[in-house]
Structure 1
Amino acid sequence: MTDTSAPLVEVRGLEKSFGDNRVLQGVDFAADAGTTTVLIGPSGSGKTTILRSLNVLEVPDTGTVRIDDVEVDFAALPHRAKAARARTSRLRSQSGMVFQSHQLFPHKTVLENVIEGPVQVQRRPREDAVADARRLLDQVGLSEKADQHPFELSGGQQQRVGIARALALKPKVVLFDEPTSALDPELVGEVLDVIKDLATEGWTTVIVTHEIRFAEQVADQVLFLDGGVVVERGTSAQVIGDPAQERTRQFLKRILDPGGSGAARQ
Protein backbone atom coordinates (compact mmCIF):
# COMPACT_ATOMS: atom_id res chain seq x y z
CA MET A 1 0.00 0.00 0.00
CA THR A 2 1.29 3.45 -0.92
CA ASP A 3 2.08 5.83 1.92
CA THR A 4 -0.16 8.79 1.06
CA SER A 5 1.93 11.05 3.33
CA ALA A 6 5.09 10.40 1.32
CA PRO A 7 6.07 12.51 -1.69
CA LEU A 8 4.89 11.09 -5.00
CA VAL A 9 8.34 11.62 -6.53
CA GLU A 10 11.58 11.18 -4.62
CA VAL A 11 15.13 11.39 -5.98
CA ARG A 12 18.15 10.61 -3.80
CA GLY A 13 21.84 10.83 -4.61
CA LEU A 14 21.45 10.89 -8.39
CA GLU A 15 24.78 10.81 -10.20
CA LYS A 16 25.56 10.53 -13.90
CA SER A 17 28.74 10.91 -15.93
CA PHE A 18 29.39 10.87 -19.65
CA GLY A 19 33.03 9.93 -19.89
CA ASP A 20 34.93 12.40 -17.72
CA ASN A 21 32.02 14.84 -17.61
CA ARG A 22 30.08 14.56 -14.32
CA VAL A 23 26.66 15.81 -15.36
CA LEU A 24 24.87 15.05 -12.09
CA GLN A 25 26.64 15.15 -8.73
CA GLY A 26 24.35 13.82 -6.02
CA VAL A 27 21.00 15.42 -6.85
CA ASP A 28 18.18 15.10 -4.30
CA PHE A 29 14.62 16.38 -4.49
CA ALA A 30 11.04 15.36 -3.78
CA ALA A 31 7.66 16.39 -5.18
CA ASP A 32 4.22 15.91 -3.66
CA ALA A 33 1.27 14.69 -5.70
CA GLY A 34 -0.51 17.45 -7.58
CA THR A 35 2.44 19.85 -7.51
CA THR A 36 4.58 21.46 -10.19
CA THR A 37 8.37 21.33 -9.90
CA VAL A 38 10.36 23.52 -12.28
CA LEU A 39 14.05 22.98 -13.01
CA ILE A 40 15.95 26.05 -14.19
CA GLY A 41 19.60 26.73 -14.85
CA PRO A 42 22.14 27.29 -17.62
CA SER A 43 22.58 24.89 -20.51
CA GLY A 44 24.61 21.87 -19.46
CA SER A 45 23.61 22.13 -15.80
CA GLY A 46 22.00 18.68 -15.73
CA LYS A 47 18.30 19.62 -15.93
CA THR A 48 17.38 17.42 -18.88
CA THR A 49 19.50 14.55 -17.56
CA ILE A 50 17.43 14.59 -14.36
CA LEU A 51 14.23 14.48 -16.38
CA ARG A 52 15.48 11.66 -18.59
CA SER A 53 16.60 9.77 -15.49
CA LEU A 54 13.09 9.95 -14.05
CA ASN A 55 11.82 8.33 -17.26
CA VAL A 56 14.89 6.05 -17.50
CA LEU A 57 15.77 7.36 -20.95
CA GLU A 58 19.13 7.86 -19.24
CA VAL A 59 20.31 5.30 -16.70
CA PRO A 60 22.04 7.04 -13.77
CA ASP A 61 25.32 5.65 -12.51
CA THR A 62 24.02 5.63 -8.96
CA GLY A 63 21.17 7.01 -6.89
CA THR A 64 17.54 6.15 -6.28
CA VAL A 65 14.37 7.26 -8.05
CA ARG A 66 10.93 6.51 -6.64
CA ILE A 67 7.62 7.42 -8.30
CA ASP A 68 4.64 6.40 -6.21
CA ASP A 69 5.29 2.79 -5.13
CA VAL A 70 7.90 1.99 -7.79
CA GLU A 71 11.52 2.51 -6.73
CA VAL A 72 14.78 1.77 -8.50
CA ASP A 73 18.21 1.90 -6.86
CA PHE A 74 20.40 2.28 -9.92
CA ALA A 75 23.55 1.19 -8.12
CA ALA A 76 21.85 -2.08 -7.25
CA LEU A 77 20.33 -2.98 -10.62
CA PRO A 78 20.54 -6.71 -11.37
CA HIS A 79 23.43 -7.75 -13.59
CA ARG A 80 21.04 -9.80 -15.70
CA ALA A 81 19.82 -7.56 -18.55
CA LYS A 82 16.28 -8.95 -18.58
CA ALA A 83 15.76 -8.36 -14.85
CA ALA A 84 17.21 -4.85 -15.09
CA ARG A 85 14.94 -3.99 -18.03
CA ALA A 86 11.88 -5.24 -16.18
CA ARG A 87 12.66 -3.06 -13.17
CA THR A 88 13.41 0.09 -15.17
CA SER A 89 10.43 -0.45 -17.48
CA ARG A 90 8.12 -0.45 -14.49
CA LEU A 91 9.56 2.88 -13.34
CA ARG A 92 9.28 4.31 -16.86
CA SER A 93 5.58 3.40 -16.94
CA GLN A 94 4.94 5.79 -14.05
CA SER A 95 5.69 8.91 -16.13
CA GLY A 96 4.85 10.47 -19.47
CA MET A 97 7.42 12.57 -21.35
CA VAL A 98 6.81 15.62 -23.51
CA PHE A 99 9.94 16.33 -25.55
CA GLN A 100 11.45 19.52 -26.98
CA SER A 101 10.51 18.40 -30.48
CA HIS A 102 7.13 16.88 -31.17
CA GLN A 103 8.32 13.41 -32.26
CA LEU A 104 4.94 12.48 -33.69
CA PHE A 105 4.55 9.65 -36.18
CA PRO A 106 4.22 11.54 -39.49
CA HIS A 107 2.27 8.77 -41.25
CA LYS A 108 -0.35 8.51 -38.48
CA THR A 109 -3.26 10.84 -37.81
CA VAL A 110 -3.43 12.92 -34.66
CA LEU A 111 -5.84 10.42 -33.09
CA GLU A 112 -3.65 7.48 -34.06
CA ASN A 113 -0.62 9.19 -32.51
CA VAL A 114 -2.45 9.65 -29.21
CA ILE A 115 -3.75 6.07 -28.97
CA GLU A 116 -0.46 4.43 -30.04
CA GLY A 117 0.94 4.05 -26.50
CA PRO A 118 -2.26 2.95 -24.74
CA VAL A 119 -3.04 0.33 -27.42
CA GLN A 120 0.41 -0.96 -28.38
CA VAL A 121 2.27 -0.63 -25.07
CA GLN A 122 -0.43 -0.81 -22.42
CA ARG A 123 -2.65 -3.23 -24.40
CA ARG A 124 -5.80 -1.29 -23.58
CA PRO A 125 -8.93 -1.91 -25.69
CA ARG A 126 -8.86 0.32 -28.76
CA GLU A 127 -12.34 1.71 -28.18
CA ASP A 128 -11.40 2.82 -24.66
CA ALA A 129 -8.19 4.41 -25.90
CA VAL A 130 -10.05 6.27 -28.67
CA ALA A 131 -12.61 7.63 -26.19
CA ASP A 132 -9.83 8.83 -23.89
CA ALA A 133 -7.90 10.31 -26.81
CA ARG A 134 -10.87 12.32 -28.05
CA ARG A 135 -11.43 13.68 -24.55
CA LEU A 136 -7.76 14.66 -24.25
CA LEU A 137 -7.70 16.29 -27.68
CA ASP A 138 -10.69 18.34 -26.63
CA GLN A 139 -8.83 19.26 -23.43
CA VAL A 140 -5.87 20.62 -25.40
CA GLY A 141 -8.14 22.39 -27.90
CA LEU A 142 -7.59 20.06 -30.86
CA SER A 143 -10.73 17.95 -31.10
CA GLU A 144 -11.34 19.11 -34.68
CA LYS A 145 -7.82 17.99 -35.72
CA ALA A 146 -8.20 14.31 -34.81
CA ASP A 147 -8.16 13.03 -38.40
CA GLN A 148 -5.39 15.30 -39.67
CA HIS A 149 -1.71 14.41 -39.97
CA PRO A 150 1.12 16.21 -38.14
CA PHE A 151 2.31 18.04 -41.28
CA GLU A 152 -1.09 19.78 -41.41
CA LEU A 153 -0.61 21.31 -37.95
CA SER A 154 1.39 24.25 -36.63
CA GLY A 155 4.32 23.61 -34.31
CA GLY A 156 2.24 24.64 -31.30
CA GLN A 157 -0.57 22.30 -32.31
CA GLN A 158 1.89 19.43 -32.76
CA GLN A 159 3.28 20.05 -29.29
CA ARG A 160 -0.24 20.02 -27.85
CA VAL A 161 -0.76 16.64 -29.52
CA GLY A 162 2.45 15.55 -27.81
CA ILE A 163 0.97 16.60 -24.47
CA ALA A 164 -2.25 14.67 -25.15
CA ARG A 165 -0.16 11.63 -26.12
CA ALA A 166 1.73 11.76 -22.82
CA LEU A 167 -1.50 12.15 -20.81
CA ALA A 168 -3.11 9.23 -22.66
CA LEU A 169 -0.73 6.87 -20.85
CA LYS A 170 -2.35 7.96 -17.55
CA PRO A 171 1.03 8.61 -15.91
CA LYS A 172 1.55 9.45 -12.26
CA VAL A 173 3.82 12.35 -13.28
CA VAL A 174 4.19 14.30 -16.53
CA LEU A 175 7.69 15.39 -17.54
CA PHE A 176 8.22 18.40 -19.82
CA ASP A 177 11.64 18.89 -21.41
CA GLU A 178 11.76 22.54 -22.55
CA PRO A 179 8.41 22.08 -24.33
CA THR A 180 8.50 25.48 -26.04
CA SER A 181 12.16 25.69 -27.10
CA ALA A 182 11.51 24.50 -30.67
CA LEU A 183 8.51 26.79 -31.24
CA ASP A 184 8.23 30.13 -32.96
CA PRO A 185 7.72 32.85 -30.32
CA GLU A 186 4.08 33.47 -31.29
CA LEU A 187 3.22 29.80 -30.65
CA VAL A 188 4.74 29.54 -27.17
CA GLY A 189 1.72 30.91 -25.32
CA GLU A 190 -0.75 28.29 -26.52
CA VAL A 191 1.45 25.47 -25.22
CA LEU A 192 2.18 27.17 -21.90
CA ASP A 193 -1.57 27.76 -21.39
CA VAL A 194 -2.21 24.01 -21.71
CA ILE A 195 0.53 23.24 -19.17
CA LYS A 196 -0.90 25.84 -16.77
CA ASP A 197 -4.30 24.14 -17.06
CA LEU A 198 -2.75 20.76 -16.19
CA ALA A 199 -1.18 22.28 -13.09
CA THR A 200 -4.53 23.68 -11.91
CA GLU A 201 -6.23 20.33 -12.62
CA GLY A 202 -3.95 18.52 -10.18
CA TRP A 203 -1.51 16.75 -12.48
CA THR A 204 1.93 16.23 -10.98
CA THR A 205 4.48 17.79 -13.32
CA VAL A 206 8.24 18.28 -13.50
CA ILE A 207 9.23 20.91 -16.05
CA VAL A 208 12.57 21.96 -17.51
CA THR A 209 12.19 25.44 -18.98
CA HIS A 210 13.91 28.73 -19.72
CA GLU A 211 10.54 30.52 -19.53
CA ILE A 212 11.23 32.09 -16.14
CA ARG A 213 8.03 34.15 -15.92
CA PHE A 214 6.03 31.02 -16.71
CA ALA A 215 7.92 29.15 -13.97
CA GLU A 216 7.12 31.97 -11.58
CA GLN A 217 3.40 31.53 -12.28
CA VAL A 218 3.04 27.74 -12.09
CA ALA A 219 5.78 26.34 -9.85
CA ASP A 220 5.15 25.03 -6.36
CA GLN A 221 8.90 24.57 -6.09
CA VAL A 222 11.83 25.73 -8.20
CA LEU A 223 15.24 24.08 -8.34
CA PHE A 224 18.13 26.09 -9.74
CA LEU A 225 20.89 23.82 -11.01
CA ASP A 226 24.42 24.57 -12.04
CA GLY A 227 27.27 22.16 -12.68
CA GLY A 228 25.15 19.12 -11.86
CA VAL A 229 24.17 20.21 -8.36
CA VAL A 230 21.09 21.90 -6.89
CA VAL A 231 22.41 25.35 -5.98
CA GLU A 232 19.11 26.67 -4.62
CA ARG A 233 15.59 25.40 -4.07
CA GLY A 234 12.35 26.82 -2.73
CA THR A 235 9.12 28.42 -3.82
CA SER A 236 9.08 30.56 -6.94
CA ALA A 237 8.84 33.64 -4.73
CA GLN A 238 12.02 32.57 -2.95
CA VAL A 239 14.17 31.32 -5.82
CA ILE A 240 13.01 33.66 -8.59
CA GLY A 241 11.68 36.60 -6.61
CA ASP A 242 14.37 36.81 -3.91
CA PRO A 243 17.20 34.34 -4.55
CA ALA A 244 19.64 33.77 -1.72
CA GLN A 245 22.59 32.56 -3.81
CA GLU A 246 24.73 34.89 -5.91
CA ARG A 247 24.94 32.30 -8.71
CA THR A 248 21.13 32.22 -8.92
CA ARG A 249 20.97 36.00 -9.04
CA GLN A 250 23.53 36.11 -11.86
CA PHE A 251 21.59 33.56 -13.91
CA LEU A 252 18.24 35.29 -13.46
CA LYS A 253 19.69 38.69 -14.29
CA ARG A 254 21.13 37.34 -17.52
CA ILE A 255 17.81 35.72 -18.50
CA LEU A 256 15.38 38.39 -17.33
CA ASP A 257 17.41 41.52 -17.95
CA PRO A 258 19.85 40.76 -20.78
CA GLY A 259 20.21 44.44 -21.62
CA GLY A 260 21.04 45.40 -18.06
CA SER A 261 18.26 48.00 -17.78
CA GLY A 262 16.34 46.30 -15.00
CA ALA A 263 13.11 46.81 -16.92
CA ALA A 264 12.46 43.10 -17.24
CA ARG A 265 12.24 42.72 -13.49
CA GLN A 266 9.69 45.52 -13.03
Structure 2
Amino acid sequence: MTETEHTPRIRVRGLEKSFGDRHVLRGIDFDSPAGTSTVVLGASGSGKSTLLRSLNALEVPERGVVAIDDVEVDFAGLATGRAGRRETERLRGQSGMVFQAHNLFPHRTVLENVVEGPVVAQRRPREEVVAEARALLDQVGLGDRGDTYPFQLSGGQQQRVGIARALALRPKVVLFDEPTSALDPELVGEVLAVIKDLASQGWTTVIVTHEIRFARQVADQVLFLDEGVIVEKGTSDEVIDDPREDRTRRFLSRILDAG
Protein backbone atom coordinates (compact mmCIF):
# COMPACT_ATOMS: atom_id res chain seq x y z
CA MET A 1 0.00 0.00 0.00
CA THR A 2 1.69 3.16 -1.19
CA GLU A 3 0.78 6.79 -0.57
CA THR A 4 0.42 7.43 -4.28
CA GLU A 5 -2.06 4.57 -4.73
CA HIS A 6 -4.25 5.10 -1.68
CA THR A 7 -3.87 8.58 -0.23
CA PRO A 8 -4.59 11.51 -2.55
CA ARG A 9 -2.33 14.46 -1.93
CA ILE A 10 -5.12 16.73 -3.18
CA ARG A 11 -8.77 15.92 -2.59
CA VAL A 12 -11.59 18.14 -3.88
CA ARG A 13 -15.26 17.49 -3.22
CA GLY A 14 -18.34 19.46 -4.26
CA LEU A 15 -16.58 22.72 -5.06
CA GLU A 16 -19.00 25.56 -5.91
CA LYS A 17 -18.06 29.12 -6.78
CA SER A 18 -20.08 32.01 -8.17
CA PHE A 19 -19.33 35.60 -9.12
CA GLY A 20 -22.62 37.43 -8.80
CA ASP A 21 -25.17 35.48 -10.81
CA ARG A 22 -22.46 33.66 -12.81
CA HIS A 23 -21.98 30.08 -11.55
CA VAL A 24 -18.30 29.40 -12.33
CA LEU A 25 -17.68 26.07 -10.56
CA ARG A 26 -20.51 23.54 -10.31
CA GLY A 27 -19.73 20.65 -7.98
CA ILE A 28 -16.10 19.90 -8.83
CA ASP A 29 -14.75 16.54 -7.57
CA PHE A 30 -11.29 15.09 -8.19
CA ASP A 31 -8.24 13.57 -6.51
CA SER A 32 -4.56 14.08 -7.32
CA PRO A 33 -2.29 11.35 -5.95
CA ALA A 34 1.06 12.33 -4.52
CA GLY A 35 3.81 12.68 -7.10
CA THR A 36 1.48 13.07 -10.08
CA SER A 37 0.66 15.85 -12.52
CA THR A 38 -2.94 16.86 -13.15
CA VAL A 39 -3.50 19.02 -16.22
CA VAL A 40 -6.66 21.13 -16.48
CA LEU A 41 -7.91 21.95 -19.98
CA GLY A 42 -10.85 24.04 -21.13
CA ALA A 43 -11.89 27.08 -23.07
CA SER A 44 -11.59 30.61 -21.72
CA GLY A 45 -14.25 31.13 -19.06
CA SER A 46 -14.68 27.44 -18.30
CA GLY A 47 -13.53 27.83 -14.68
CA LYS A 48 -9.97 26.55 -14.94
CA SER A 49 -8.18 29.41 -13.19
CA THR A 50 -10.94 29.76 -10.59
CA LEU A 51 -10.54 26.08 -9.76
CA LEU A 52 -6.77 26.44 -9.42
CA ARG A 53 -7.06 29.55 -7.25
CA SER A 54 -9.62 27.79 -5.06
CA LEU A 55 -7.09 25.07 -4.25
CA ASN A 56 -5.09 27.58 -2.21
CA ALA A 57 -7.98 29.83 -1.21
CA LEU A 58 -6.98 32.82 -3.34
CA GLU A 59 -10.60 32.43 -4.39
CA VAL A 60 -12.94 31.34 -1.58
CA PRO A 61 -15.69 28.99 -2.82
CA GLU A 62 -19.17 29.10 -1.31
CA ARG A 63 -19.26 25.34 -0.80
CA GLY A 64 -17.05 22.30 -1.06
CA VAL A 65 -14.00 20.74 0.53
CA VAL A 66 -10.35 21.13 -0.45
CA ALA A 67 -7.76 18.97 1.32
CA ILE A 68 -4.01 18.94 0.71
CA ASP A 69 -2.42 16.18 2.77
CA ASP A 70 -3.80 16.57 6.30
CA VAL A 71 -4.92 20.19 5.89
CA GLU A 72 -8.62 20.34 5.01
CA VAL A 73 -11.00 23.26 4.61
CA ASP A 74 -14.76 22.85 4.35
CA PHE A 75 -15.73 26.14 2.75
CA ALA A 76 -19.43 25.81 3.60
CA GLY A 77 -18.48 25.58 7.28
CA LEU A 78 -15.59 28.01 7.12
CA ALA A 79 -15.19 30.02 10.29
CA THR A 80 -15.53 33.78 10.12
CA GLY A 81 -13.04 36.47 11.07
CA ARG A 82 -9.59 35.59 12.32
CA ALA A 83 -10.35 31.87 12.69
CA GLY A 84 -11.40 31.64 9.05
CA ARG A 85 -8.27 33.46 7.92
CA ARG A 86 -6.15 30.97 9.86
CA GLU A 87 -7.86 28.06 8.09
CA THR A 88 -7.38 29.51 4.62
CA GLU A 89 -3.79 30.60 5.35
CA ARG A 90 -2.95 27.09 6.53
CA LEU A 91 -4.36 25.64 3.30
CA ARG A 92 -2.52 28.27 1.26
CA GLY A 93 0.73 27.29 2.96
CA GLN A 94 0.48 23.81 1.45
CA SER A 95 0.97 25.01 -2.12
CA GLY A 96 3.19 27.22 -4.23
CA MET A 97 1.56 29.18 -7.06
CA VAL A 98 3.11 30.16 -10.38
CA PHE A 99 0.97 32.78 -12.11
CA GLN A 100 0.53 33.83 -15.74
CA ALA A 101 2.33 37.10 -15.01
CA HIS A 102 5.70 36.83 -13.32
CA ASN A 103 4.84 39.14 -10.40
CA LEU A 104 8.47 39.62 -9.41
CA PHE A 105 9.57 42.55 -7.26
CA PRO A 106 11.24 44.83 -9.83
CA HIS A 107 13.46 46.59 -7.29
CA ARG A 108 14.95 43.36 -5.92
CA THR A 109 17.46 40.97 -7.42
CA VAL A 110 16.54 37.52 -8.64
CA LEU A 111 18.00 35.96 -5.50
CA GLU A 112 16.14 38.40 -3.24
CA ASN A 113 12.87 37.60 -5.01
CA VAL A 114 13.32 33.89 -4.25
CA VAL A 115 14.42 34.45 -0.65
CA GLU A 116 11.67 36.91 0.33
CA GLY A 117 8.80 34.49 1.04
CA PRO A 118 10.60 31.91 3.16
CA VAL A 119 12.37 34.56 5.26
CA VAL A 120 9.47 37.00 5.75
CA ALA A 121 6.40 34.76 5.68
CA GLN A 122 7.87 31.53 7.06
CA ARG A 123 10.47 33.17 9.32
CA ARG A 124 13.17 30.73 8.29
CA PRO A 125 16.87 31.55 8.84
CA ARG A 126 18.15 33.72 6.00
CA GLU A 127 21.45 31.85 5.59
CA GLU A 128 19.60 28.54 5.15
CA VAL A 129 17.12 30.07 2.70
CA VAL A 130 19.83 31.73 0.58
CA ALA A 131 21.62 28.39 0.17
CA GLU A 132 18.38 26.70 -0.90
CA ALA A 133 17.49 29.59 -3.22
CA ARG A 134 20.84 29.34 -5.02
CA ALA A 135 20.29 25.59 -5.50
CA LEU A 136 16.80 26.22 -6.88
CA LEU A 137 18.09 28.84 -9.30
CA ASP A 138 20.63 26.28 -10.49
CA GLN A 139 17.78 23.81 -10.92
CA VAL A 140 15.84 26.15 -13.22
CA GLY A 141 18.95 27.07 -15.19
CA LEU A 142 19.56 30.52 -13.69
CA GLY A 143 22.32 29.86 -11.19
CA ASP A 144 24.41 32.65 -12.67
CA ARG A 145 21.65 35.28 -12.61
CA GLY A 146 21.07 35.68 -8.86
CA ASP A 147 22.47 39.22 -8.73
CA THR A 148 20.56 40.52 -11.75
CA TYR A 149 17.21 42.33 -11.70
CA PRO A 150 13.98 41.16 -13.37
CA PHE A 151 14.15 43.82 -16.11
CA GLN A 152 17.46 42.29 -17.23
CA LEU A 153 15.80 38.91 -17.91
CA SER A 154 13.65 37.59 -20.72
CA GLY A 155 10.03 36.70 -20.02
CA GLY A 156 10.91 33.00 -19.94
CA GLN A 157 13.73 33.61 -17.47
CA GLN A 158 11.42 35.66 -15.26
CA GLN A 159 8.89 32.84 -15.25
CA ARG A 160 11.61 30.39 -14.24
CA VAL A 161 12.46 32.69 -11.32
CA GLY A 162 8.77 32.53 -10.42
CA ILE A 163 8.98 28.74 -10.35
CA ALA A 164 12.07 28.84 -8.11
CA ARG A 165 10.26 31.30 -5.82
CA ALA A 166 7.28 28.93 -5.50
CA LEU A 167 9.55 25.96 -4.73
CA ALA A 168 11.46 27.94 -2.10
CA LEU A 169 8.36 27.85 0.10
CA ARG A 170 8.72 24.05 0.36
CA PRO A 171 5.14 23.42 -0.77
CA LYS A 172 3.41 20.06 -0.85
CA VAL A 173 1.99 20.87 -4.29
CA VAL A 174 2.83 23.36 -7.04
CA LEU A 175 0.03 25.08 -8.95
CA PHE A 176 0.64 26.55 -12.42
CA ASP A 177 -1.89 28.97 -13.88
CA GLU A 178 -1.23 29.05 -17.64
CA PRO A 179 2.48 29.64 -17.01
CA THR A 180 3.33 30.22 -20.68
CA SER A 181 0.36 32.31 -21.83
CA ALA A 182 2.17 35.64 -21.40
CA LEU A 183 5.35 34.50 -23.17
CA ASP A 184 6.53 34.96 -26.71
CA PRO A 185 6.33 31.62 -28.58
CA GLU A 186 10.11 31.15 -28.71
CA LEU A 187 10.30 31.31 -24.88
CA VAL A 188 7.57 28.78 -24.12
CA GLY A 189 9.76 25.70 -24.46
CA GLU A 190 12.26 26.67 -21.75
CA VAL A 191 9.51 27.08 -19.15
CA LEU A 192 7.72 23.87 -20.11
CA ALA A 193 11.03 21.99 -19.86
CA VAL A 194 11.44 23.12 -16.24
CA ILE A 195 7.87 22.08 -15.36
CA LYS A 196 8.36 18.72 -17.06
CA ASP A 197 11.55 18.22 -15.05
CA LEU A 198 9.68 18.94 -11.80
CA ALA A 199 7.04 16.39 -12.72
CA SER A 200 9.74 13.78 -13.39
CA GLN A 201 11.20 14.48 -9.93
CA GLY A 202 7.93 13.51 -8.24
CA TRP A 203 6.46 16.91 -7.41
CA THR A 204 2.68 16.95 -7.17
CA THR A 205 1.49 19.52 -9.68
CA VAL A 206 -1.77 20.92 -11.03
CA ILE A 207 -1.28 22.74 -14.32
CA VAL A 208 -3.79 24.90 -16.18
CA THR A 209 -2.53 25.11 -19.74
CA HIS A 210 -3.56 25.32 -23.37
CA GLU A 211 -0.37 23.53 -24.53
CA ILE A 212 -1.84 20.22 -25.70
CA ARG A 213 1.46 18.62 -26.73
CA PHE A 214 2.93 19.44 -23.33
CA ALA A 215 -0.18 18.05 -21.60
CA ARG A 216 0.31 14.76 -23.43
CA GLN A 217 3.91 14.55 -22.22
CA VAL A 218 3.47 15.49 -18.57
CA ALA A 219 -0.06 14.60 -17.44
CA ASP A 220 -0.87 11.60 -15.30
CA GLN A 221 -4.44 12.88 -15.24
CA VAL A 222 -6.32 15.32 -17.48
CA LEU A 223 -9.45 17.21 -16.46
CA PHE A 224 -11.50 18.87 -19.18
CA LEU A 225 -13.72 21.65 -17.81
CA ASP A 226 -16.64 23.24 -19.59
CA GLU A 227 -19.06 25.72 -17.98
CA GLY A 228 -17.75 24.91 -14.51
CA VAL A 229 -18.18 21.15 -14.78
CA ILE A 230 -15.59 18.39 -15.24
CA VAL A 231 -16.91 16.96 -18.49
CA GLU A 232 -14.17 14.37 -18.88
CA LYS A 233 -11.44 12.96 -16.65
CA GLY A 234 -8.74 10.39 -17.36
CA THR A 235 -5.26 9.83 -18.74
CA SER A 236 -3.98 11.92 -21.64
CA ASP A 237 -4.53 8.93 -23.93
CA GLU A 238 -8.17 8.82 -22.86
CA VAL A 239 -9.05 12.52 -22.77
CA ILE A 240 -6.79 14.01 -25.45
CA ASP A 241 -6.30 11.17 -27.91
CA ASP A 242 -9.64 9.35 -27.58
CA PRO A 243 -12.19 11.66 -25.91
CA ARG A 244 -15.66 10.29 -25.23
CA GLU A 245 -17.57 13.57 -25.10
CA ASP A 246 -18.52 15.81 -28.02
CA ARG A 247 -17.62 18.94 -26.03
CA THR A 248 -14.10 17.63 -25.48
CA ARG A 249 -13.66 16.72 -29.13
CA ARG A 250 -14.85 20.15 -30.31
CA PHE A 251 -12.49 21.94 -27.91
CA LEU A 252 -9.46 19.86 -28.90
CA SER A 253 -10.27 20.28 -32.59
CA ARG A 254 -10.33 24.07 -32.23
CA ILE A 255 -7.08 24.15 -30.24
CA LEU A 256 -5.22 21.76 -32.53
CA ASP A 257 -6.46 23.52 -35.69
CA ALA A 258 -5.37 26.88 -34.27
CA GLY A 259 -1.96 25.44 -33.36
Secondary structure of 1:106's partner?
A: coil
Distance in 1 between residues matched to 2:210 and 2:121, nearest whole Å: 32
Q: Which residue of 2 aligns with 1:261?
A: none
Aligned pairs, how many? 256
The amino acid of 2:149's aligned partner reads H
Q: Which residue of 1 aligns with 2:123?
A: 123
Q: Which residue of 2 aligns with 1:113?
A: 113
Distance in 2 between residues matched to 1:128 and 1:203, nearest whole Å: 22
The amino acid of 2:42's aligned partner reads G
The amino acid of 1:102's aligned partner reads H
The amino acid of 2:248's aligned partner reads T
Deviations 1:194-221 (A, max 9, x none): 0000000000000000001100110000
The CA deviation at 1:78 is 1.2
The CA deviation at 1:257 is 1.8
Structure 1 consecutive aligned stretches of length 4 or more whose deviation exceeds 6 Å: none
Q: Alignment RMSD, CA only? A: 0.9
Secondary structure of 2:251's partner?
A: helix
The amino acid of 2:199's aligned partner reads A
Q: Which residue of 1 aligns with 2:20?
A: 19
Q: Which residue of 1 aligns with 2:29?
A: 28
Deviations 1:170-190 (A, max 9, x none): 100000000000000000000
Q: Does residue 1:199 correspond to 2:203, yes or no? A: no
Identity %: 73
Secondary structure of 1:144's partner?
A: coil
CA contact (8 A) 2:7 2:34 kept: no
Secondary structure of 2:144's partner?
A: helix
TM alignment of 1:17-166, pairs within 5 A? 17-79=18-80, 81-166=81-166
Distance in 2 between residues matched to 1:159 and 1:23, nearest whole Å: 28
The amino acid of 1:23's aligned partner reads V
Q: Which residue of 2 aligns with 1:243?
A: 243
Instruction: Normalising by structure 1, report the TM-score.
Output: 0.95
The amino acid of 1:72's aligned partner reads V
Distance in 1 between residues matched to 2:216 and 2:103, nearest whole Å: 28
The amino acid of 2:46's aligned partner reads S
Unaligned 5+ residue runs, structure 1?
259-263
Distance in 2 between residues matched to 1:230 and 1:173, nearest whole Å: 21
Instruction: Normalising by structure 2, report the TM-score.
Output: 0.98
Distance in 1 between residues matched to 2:22 and 2:47, nearest whole Å: 11
Distance in 2 between residues matched to 1:164 and 1:245, nearest whole Å: 37
